[in-house]
């Protein structure tokens, strides 16, 4: 799903950086607030620090995750929580966001919790304009996304950004 979005965005001439949170070593935010006093994305060194320059240059951010227990993965949530280091500081240029979710569940309404959290974070706390949400239900088995109509939807969203 993310690869289809990237394909569309690149076709439209955009530079794209993919950060695989699921393969990264990122701890959760510890609410120590040292990031604010030391003007750093986080004082605890882990793979999140690799994101800093990309986040500072980005105009659009796309969150992509499988649906685990009706929410994002813990790895993506750790990244999202660590974004608090940038809030209210005028550091980020990001103005827009999108969400891509796939899950084993067939019922689209079971994605509602993750979508609501995404909207509260991006449109509430971060004040980013939502460019769209793409859902791929019924993708529990490896390869189930292949041929899924959500792939074209994600590609089209990438082109439109």
Q: What is the pLDDT along the chain (161 residues), one digit of tens a residue?
A: 999 999 999 999 999 999 999 999 999 999 998 887 887 788 888 999 999 889 999 999 999 999 999 999 999 999 999 998 888 778 889 999 999 999 999 999 999 999 999 999 998 888 899 999 999 999 999 999 999 999 999 999 999 99
**pLDDT at residue 40 in the model:** 79
**Under 8 Å between Cβ of 102 and 1:** yes
Please give the angle made by the CA atoms of 22, 23 and 26, to the nearest 5 degrees.
75
**pLDDT at residue 125 in the model:** 82
**Under 8 Å between Cβ of 1 and 134:** yes
**pLDDT at residue 82 in the model:** 92
Model-level pTM?
0.94
The sheet with strand 96-102 has its strands ordered as 60-66, 96-102, 129-136
Q: Which residues contact 120 (CB under 8 A, 6 or more apart)?
A: none
Element (H, E) at 136: strand 129-136
What distance in Å separates the CA atoms of residue 22 and residue 42, rounded to the nearest whole number?
A: 19
Q: Which residues contact 50 (CB under 8 A, 6 or more apart)?
A: 19, 24
DSSP letter, residue 1: -
**pLDDT at residue 118 in the model:** 95
**pLDDT at residue 113 in the model:** 96
**pLDDT at residue 86 in the model:** 85
> How far from each other are the two terminal CA atoms of the chain, in whole angstroms?
16
**pLDDT at residue 54 in the model:** 93
Q: How many CB atoms lie within 10 A of CB 143?
A: 7
What distance in Å separates the CA atoms of residue 8 and residue 152, rounded to the nearest whole number?
A: 9
**pLDDT at residue 84 in the model:** 87
CA 113 to chain centre: 15
């Amino acid at each position: 799903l993310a690869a289809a979005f990237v394909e569309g965005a690149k076709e439209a001439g955009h530079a794209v950086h993919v950060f695989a949170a699921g393969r990264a070593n990122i701890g959760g935010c510890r609410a120590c607030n040292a990031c604010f006093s030391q003007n750093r994305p986080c004082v605890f060194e882990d793979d999140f620090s690799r994101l800093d320059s990309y986040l500072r240059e980005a105009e659009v951010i796309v969150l992509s995750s499988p649906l685990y227990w009706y929410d994002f993965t813990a790895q993506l949530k750790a990244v999202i929580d660590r974004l608090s280091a940038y809030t209210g500081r005028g550091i980020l240029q990001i103005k827009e966001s999108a969400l891509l979710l796939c899950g084993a569940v067939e019922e689209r309404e079971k994605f509602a919790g993750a979508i609501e959290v995404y909207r509260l974070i991006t449109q509430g706390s971060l004040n980013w304009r939502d460019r769209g949400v793409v859902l791929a239900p019924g993708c529990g088995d490896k390869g189930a996304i292949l041929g899924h109509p959500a792939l074209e939807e994600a590609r089209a969203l990438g082109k439109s950004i």
